[in-house]
Amino acid sequence: MLKANDPCWCGSGTKYKRCHRSREHQLEPGNLSPWRTVPAEIPRPDYAETGEPVRRPEARVKSPEIIERMRRACQAAAEVLEVGAAAIAPGVTTDA
């Protein structure tokens, strides 16, 4: 356990109390929602049951069309994450 005047764990060279101490007490454990079941019609990845992915013998080379579709999908995902990040605030939950 770090004391206030110890060097900060981040390697900044400053004292812990002036660097990260105030930030570490801003988070508190929240309440966990109950587990929800996933409908059977939603496909599951190969690691859903065992936790271990099925190893493929070799990397699959993607066509230029697939690569472009992947780029568009990643751009859409980045936009979704941006909107989601804007909604994050203390006290906000994902529960309905």
Residue 30 domain flag: no
Residue 73 domain flag: yes
| Residues 1-51: tens digit of each pLDDT | 778 888 888 888 888 888 877 666 666 677 888 888 889 999 998 888 888
How high is the pLDDT of residue 91? 78
First vs last C-alpha separation in the chain = 38
- Whether 74 has a pLDDT exceeding 70, the answer reads yes
Residue 80 domain flag: yes
Q: How many domains does the chain have?
A: 1
How high is the pLDDT of residue 20? 77
pTM (2 d.p.) = 0.44
Residue 74 domain flag: yes
How high is the pLDDT of residue 41? 95
Residue 76 domain flag: yes
Residue 24 domain flag: no
Residue 77 domain flag: yes
Residue 75 domain flag: yes
* Distance (Å, whole) CA 67 – CA 63: 6
Q: How many helices (H) and strands (E) does the chain have?
A: 2, 0
Full domain range(s) for residue 76: 63-87
* Distance (Å, whole) CA 81 – CA 46: 25
